Amino acid sequence: MSFFRRIEWKGVKKSDEFLPVVRHRLGGRLDLIRTQAGGVSLPGGGSVKDFIARLPKAELHLHIEGTLEPELMFEMASRNRVHLPYQSPEQVRKAYEFSDLQSFLDIYYQGTRVLLHDRDFYDLAWAYLKKAHEQNVRHAEVFFDPQAHTERGIPIRAIIDGLDQAFQDGKRQFGISSKLILSFLRHLSGDHAMKTFQDALPFRNRFAGVGLDSSERDHPPEKFTSVFARAREEGLFVVAHAGEEGPPDYVWQALDALRASRIDHGVRCIEDPALVDRLRAERVPLTVCPLSNVKLRVFDAIENHNLRQLLSAGLCVTINSDDPAYFGGYINENFLAVHEAFDLTKDELCTLARNSFEAAFLPDSEKTRIFDELDELASS
């Protein structure tokens, strides 16, 4: 048993400041070590917030268009002469009140209209990479939605050129490895997805996987069986959003029809015990996005999220930020939110970080290196 299994934390949110209460269990006794505003020194060092910041993390569920912060949106709108129906970045932020997935998507697609040139896609990805580096993200598998741009006349080459260059620079400058996931919009047809895929094939060596996103309701994964089969023939890895707003049946379809090796969201799997058994038996990872789930009313409050149930069911759960510019937090804020809601122990936080690398499409040697680092962090 590591030292940290004997530590319990209780996070208390006071204004915007994190106020941890640390209790140290020794010989069956529970002692309060020290409590102070703004942080506390732990045996092993630092507050929960610091510990989360020090955890190496892989981000596996992130839409690059969802990282467009209002300030950058305004900058791009100005240089590209695109009219925005807002007067200021503050006004944009005020508009980010959503009642469900669709109400978010309406605003999200409006924001993408400022992205016109390869430089815009580069700047967008670069802004995310700087943030990811600050938050100790070591590896990112990132969705992009070509159809949201090609529909507006933007060449697919400009999208991929800009993103690919930024992620290559991110590897050089920050040491963050990455993979791009070409994601199909499920509210459009299977034929449209196939056409997009064919248009992207000349750039096949610059993306590593395909995904499925956008409005889930009434758009079952089976619509996309053919294009996913085609992608697998190309040796691409396959993931799909399912079981966020859609029923558990959509998760079955993602597994059986699309042969997805990872499920994005998947939180509604808990309604189907046979599905939970399968996800556990096959160790299919779920890329869970807690702040997104609350913002889009999948759960009415973070305390009512089913993360604890998913973990107790023995599933490979990972924590991710989805569309952080719109949902009020990047990956560390998501970790902190679930820690505060569920009193996650240091071991559980390490498990979540470990799962993210287990679930990543990385070579085993790279995963082993990170697992060793996590073990060292947990026992320091």
Q: Can residue 245 be called a binding residue for Zn ion (CB under 5 A)?
A: no
Residue number, 47 or 321, with CB nearest to Zn ion: 321
Residue number, 123 or 322, with CB nearest to Zn ion: 322
Distances (CA, A) of 58 to 37, 179, 331: 30, 11, 9
What residues does 19 pair with on adjacent strands? 12
C-alpha 12/C-alpha 32 separation (Å) is: 14
User: Least CB distance from residue 364 to Zn ion, whole Å?
Assistant: 27
Residue number, 59 or 322, with CB nearest to Zn ion: 322
Identify the DSSP state of 13: E
Q: Can residue 145 be called a binding residue for Zn ion (CB under 5 A)?
A: no
User: Least CB distance from residue 322 to Zn ion, whole Å?
Assistant: 5
User: Least CB distance from residue 140 to Zn ion, whole Å?
Assistant: 14
**If binding means CB under 5 A, how many residues of this protein chain bind Zn ion?**
1
Binding segment toward Zn ion, per CB under 5 A, in 188-196, 300-308, 319-327, 348-356: 319-327
Binder to Zn ion among 123, 145, 322, 340 (CB under 5 A)? 322
- C-alpha 28 chain-centroid distance: 38
Residue number, 219 or 346, with CB nearest to Zn ion: 219
Residue number, 322 or 340, with CB nearest to Zn ion: 322
Catalytic residue, from 244, 245, 303, 348: name it.
244
Strands (E), 127-276: 137-144, 177-185, 209-213, 237-242, 262-265
- In a 13 Å sphere around the CA of 184, the CA atoms on its Cβ side amount to 34
| Residue with tokens 């915007």, as numbered in its chain | 16
Q: Can residue 216 be called a binding residue for Zn ion (CB under 5 A)?
A: no
233 carries an active-site annotation: no
User: Least CB distance from residue 320 to Zn ion, whole Å?
Assistant: 8
- Runs of H (alpha helix) within 135-235: 147-150, 156-174, 190-200, 225-233
Residue 14, classed as helix, strand or coil, is strand
Identify the DSSP state of 136: T
* Residues labelled as active-site residues: 244
Contact residues toward Zn ion (CB under 5 A) are: 322
